[in-house]
Every structure is written in structure tokens, then in C-alpha cells.
Structure 1
Amino acid sequence: MAIAYRQRIDDDTEFALWKIEETAEDLYVQLQLNDEEKAVVEKLGTNKRHLHWLSTRVLLRHMLSTNEYIDCQVDSHGKPYLVNHPYQISFSHSFDFAAVMISKKYHVGIDIELVKEKVERIAHKFMNPNERGFISEERKIEELYVCWCAKEAIYKCYGQKEVSFLDNILLEPFRFEGHGVVDAKLRKGDVAIDYTVGYQQYEDYMIGYVTEYSV
């Protein structure tokens, strides 16, 4: 499968989705991996996580349009970064899709989730009472997924551990329209960052994506 969806945010920033229809072997042969990465793939076994790991790297290779080795590392907070390419990156995956966001100018974060009814049962774990109060009855499930994806995208963009979705990432009311933006803020100790998070419904999935100026 080629790239299923691609959206450019500006001249230096974009994200894309890959629909996973290949076998692990088909994905593996498209990659250049060092011994450490090969060991990671082997440890993942043959479950869906295996396909997710491979497909995000294949998608990244397509987006960077390179045949060179891509040195993709993970920092102490679990945030991926590139050693030999001038891009900030973020990965996500859910069931049959992988998502990658890249930018030369910004820190980025992306999340993709398959929309399911069960999100309603856990809403109180990641949304405060004020946020739950602006969710509409008509589009409840979709709006809850916008909120989850927005918070997850901010968490990845910020790139530090010990950030609470419930207490530290706060969303402003929004009107769900299939795609749009949500204003948000991260407040934790001395940290005060405002974000505008984009969201996009794609087939049965919800995508949240965000940028923040690199420093």
C-alpha cells in the first residue's frame, strides 16, 4: 500500500497515513536497519505491534524520499528523533493505520485512534468536569476522541514524561465539524504553553496533530 492520506501544514511541516496491508516481510525489506533495530523488531515478535513499528518507519522513509539509512533514535522520555536528517518527528498507529508527522521548523505531535464507543467509559480519566461539560450528546463519541487525540498529540509534542492528561493538558470548548481546531494549554509548574491542535476524521479514525516552535 502507498500513502493513504497526506496533509501539508506549511512548507516545512506535514503528516501522512499509511494503511497497513502488507505482511511484516514486505515492510521489512523496504527498510535499512542496524543490528540494534533488527533486535528490536525481533523482540516485537509477530503481533500487531510488529507491523506498527515497521509501517511507521516505512512511511517515514517515503515522506523523507530517501534511500539512505535513517538513524531514528528514542530519547530518555521515549520521544523519537532523527540523528541524520533535519526534521522533528512524531509517530502514531492504531489498528490498520500508521501515522507520521515531520517538520523542519517545529516540534510536532500526532495521534490516530480508531473511534469506538468504549471511550465514553474512560472519559473521566483524561477530561476534567469542565471539559466533559462542553461535549455534545449528538456527537459525543467523536468529540471525546478529538479530546483524547488532542491531548495525546500535545503530550508527544511536549515530549516530557509525568504530564497528566487530566490535570496538565486543558482544552477549550469546540464545535465538532469532522475537521477543525481545538485551543489547548499545557500547565505544569513553571511550564505554560498554548497550543492550537488540528483534528481530522478519516474513515473510522480520528487524528489529532499539533506543532510548537522549536527552541
Structure 2
Amino acid sequence: MPVVFETNKENRSFLSVWKIKETEKQLAELLSFTDLMRNQLKLISNPEKRLEWLASRLLIQRLTGLPPCVSHTSSGKPNLNKSDLNVTISHTKGFATVLVSTQICGVDMEYPSPRISKLSERFVNPTEEKFISGRDEPTYHAVIWCAKETLYKTAGIQGIIFKDQMLIDPFLPEKSGTLSGRILFEDSPCQVYDLSYKITDEYYLVWHW
């Protein structure tokens, strides 16, 4: 089982990253399927997406010991059927990650690519641009994107605008560390979220638990 990173918080929250090396057949043989899961997988035609779906379910199975049967709310938030645990899922090129927790949580991962910086005007605001200030822009942009995706998954606020209604506080990127983010949504009180991150040559990872 190619788990390349794992961490936990006070035995209440567990995060795991899987590097996908198996074939679809090999992944499927490790998974305990329900009828719902078989039907969900049938709806996915893209081979890469099928691998990511299988790997994420295997991580849920591994972390919880429960059948990894996941349904989604109307907003797209995953729910682990017949469990009070919170679950959040992300995947990117060749990797899948899952975080399960007794607390509200969120996770996002992305693979290094120039496309993130090309889209940065859509999610990086002027305040954040000031502390980036021409330094390692690809890394900053990727971590900020993952951080805002994590905030979105954690807060569950529909219609939130990443650029205008989320703010990542200044940080200096290292291989791993913590940073903080804020949600500035209409008349709601400003809430600060503590985020953790990990930077590797193959992926960026941000999570909240």
C-alpha cells in the first residue's frame, strides 16, 4: 500500500496520502464494495478519475475500518454513510488524500503546474500579493489556492468568492508548517482558521482539523 504521508491529531483526526501506482483491478481487489459504491464507480468513465476514486475509498477504509460508502450533499460535501465522522477528500495527478475527523475538517492537494500561477488573478487578492512581493510566486500561489480550497470545504459557505472573501495571512513557505486564513463573508463575524501545509516536489497539501 503506497501511503507516502500520514499524520494525526490527538487520535481524533487522521490524514493520509496515497501515491497511486496500482492498476484499477489491483485497487478494486483491496476494496470492500457496497452496491451503491459499484453504481457510483460505473458513472466515472475517465480512467484517471476512476483510480483516484478507488484510492480515496481505500484510504477511508484504512483510516476508519468502515465500509467506505460515501454520499454527497447538494453542495458536494462528502458524508461517510452510517458514521458520525467527518470526511474530506482531495486528489490530484497520481495522488489521493483523505482526512477523517470527529471535528469539522477540510483538505486540498494540487500537483505543481504553471497553470496555478496563470489563474492566480482569480483567487489572490492585493493584500496577499503584497506579502508575496515577487518571491517564489509559484509556491505561494499553489499554497494559497490549496488553503482557500481547504477553507471552502471546511466552512461550507455556498457562493463565497475566493479572491474577495477569503484572506490568507502572511507566511514564509517551508517544506511543512502552519498558516492561518480568514473568511470575510458578508455580515458574518471574521473567523480565523489554523491550517497546516506540506510542500513536496510532487504535490502541495493543505488541511484543517
Query: How far apart are residue 14 of structure 1 and its match?
Result: 2.1
Displacement of 1:153 after TM fit? 0.7
Once the two structures are TM-superposed, the CA of residue 191 in structure 1 deviates from its matched residue by 2.9
User: Structure 2: how far apart are the matches of 1:90 and 1:191?
Assistant: 24
Measured in 2, the distance between the counterparts of 1:46 and 1:150 equals 27
Where 2:160 maps in the other structure, the secondary structure is coil
Report the counterpart of residue 34 of structure 2 in structure 1. 34
Q: What's 1:48 paired with?
A: 48
Conserved 8 A contact 2:106-2:207:
yes
CA contact (8 A) 1:71 1:83 kept: yes
Aligned counterparts of 1:100 and 1:70: Cα–Cα separation in 2: 11
Distance 1:71 1:37, change over 3 A: closer
CA pair 71-50 structure 1, distance change in 2 beyond 3 A = closer
Work out the CA distance in 1 between the residues paired with 2:35 and 2:92: 27
Structure 2 residue 82 is matched with structure 1 residue 99: no
Aligned partner of 1:154 in structure 2 is 151
Q: Which of residues 187, 191, 194 in structure 1 aligns to 2:192?
A: 194
Structure 2's unaligned 5+ residue stretches are: none
RMSD: 1.6
**Number of residue pairs aligned between Structure 1 and Structure 2:** 208
Q: What amino acid sits opposite 1:103 in the alignment?
A: S
State the shift of 1:209 in Å. Answer: 0.4
Aligned to 2:113: 116
How many Å separate the matches in 2 of 1:123 and 1:46? Answer: 27
Q: Which runs of 5+ in 1 are unaligned?
A: none
Judging changes above 3 Å, is the alpha-carbon distance between structure 1 residues 70 and 205 closer, same or farther for their aligned structure 2 residues? closer
CA distance in 1, matches of 2:192, 2:161: 16
Paired-residue identity, %: 26
Higher helix share: 2
- Does structure 1 retain, via aligned residues, the 8 Å contact 2:5–2:17? yes
Cα pair distance change 1:166/1:28, threshold 3 Å: same
Task: Give 1:46 deviation, angstroms.
Answer: 4.4
Work out whether residues 108 and 149 of structure 2, in 8 Å CA contact, stay in contact via their aligned partners in 1. yes
Q: Distance in 2 between matches of 1:97 and 1:57?
A: 13
| 1:150 alignment partner AA | A
CA drift at 1:189: 2.4
| Number of the residue aligned with 2:176 | 179
Which residue number in structure 2 is paired with residue 79 of structure 1? Answer: 77
Q: Which aligned segments of 4 or more residues in structure 1 are displaced greater than 4 angstroms? A: none
> Which structure is higher in strand share?
1
Is 1:137 the counterpart of 2:134? The answer is: yes
Alpha-carbon separation, structure 2, partners of 1:114 and 1:10: 29
1:29-74, CA deviations, whole angstroms, 9 ceiling, x for partnerless residues? Answer: 222333332122112124211111111001111111x2x5333221
